[in-house]
Amino acid sequence: MLDDMGVLRDAVRDYRLAATAAGLDWPDLGELPTGQPPDVVHRIFGVDHIAQQLTWLQSQRWPERRLLPNGGWLMSWPEGPDALDDLGLAIGTPFPWRQQLPLFHFEYAIFTFVLASEHEGEIWRYEISPDAWDSVRAATSLATLFDQWTQGIAAGLIVYEGEYNKWLQIEDADSVNRVSGLDPLAFPIAPVEETLLRARQRECGVNMSVVEDGFEHNEQLLDAIDAAKASLGSA
């Protein structure tokens, strides 16, 4: 889902305010005019347009530090085909695997922004593990994701870890499952509770037969990634 731009701006602002109130050093550097994605982005991901919501987020003047829960960070616009390597675990998605941009990087997961199809604007997550075939939607939109993180801070589940790590930390992953109104899949924690994971996969159309035969289909996806990179390199 593509957010109304006012709703998205408010959600990101509220998250920054909550994060700074918790102790994170995140000065307000103001907002730049929304720019345009590099032309190579369209080629890398095989799409003819990039949503304004994503372009706006990439235009923000955020300091270069870990501003997201569990020390995550906003990934910049990709500069070349190697960005497709981050999609190597996107198995069984209900949209073409290539039509999503790696957006947030966490210790345990990559979150992507879906660029096309009826799923445009959704945020999907992939655990960084060679044995994880857990393609699943993390949030229906960017604003929803930031709102979940803001609620997590307000509930005391995400705190500033200032003594050793200068970032926000999810102190008790199990507590995320118990707080009403919070969606555990929106938080970069692993592993995810199995029943919730499978129910969400069914809800959003993940091809479970593919996911359950992950090794074979992972090899097929890696071959497809290599082929796409080769094509881009010769274009």
Across 28-38, b (16+ Cβ under 10 Å) vs e yields: eeeeeeeeebe
| Cis omega (within 30 of 0) for bond into 191 | yes
Residues 97, 79: Cα–Cα separation, whole Å: 19
Q: What is the mean pLDDT of the chain?
A: 92
List of residues 6+ apart from 201 with CB closer than 8 A: 92, 134, 135, 136, 208, 211
Q: What is the mean pLDDT of residues 139-148?
A: 98
Residues 54, 12: Cα–Cα separation, whole Å: 12
Q: How confident is the model at residue 75 (pLDDT cuts 50, 70, 90)?
A: very high
Place of tokens 């990709």: 78
Whether pLDDT at 31 is above 80: no
Q: What is the mean pLDDT of residues 73-94?
A: 94
List of residues 6+ apart from 96 with CB closer than 8 A: 46, 116, 117
Please tell me what DSSP assigns to residue 204.
T
Could you tell me what percent of the chain has a pLDDT over 70?
99
Whether pLDDT at 234 is above 70: no
Q: What type of residue is 102?
A: P
Phi, psi of 168 (to 5 degrees): -80, 140
Residues 54, 70: Cα–Cα separation, whole Å: 22
What pLDDT does 225 receive? 96
Residue predicted with more confidence, 208 or 212? 208
Q: What is the mean pLDDT of residues 37-42?
A: 94
Residues 106, 69: Cα–Cα separation, whole Å: 8
Contacts 24+ apart (CB under 8 A), 176-180: 176/152, 179/152, 179/155
What pLDDT does 180 receive? 84
For the domain spanning 5-234, the CATH number is 3.40.1580
Whether pLDDT at 116 is above 70: yes
Q: How confident is the model at residue 5 (pLDDT cuts 50, 70, 90)?
A: very high
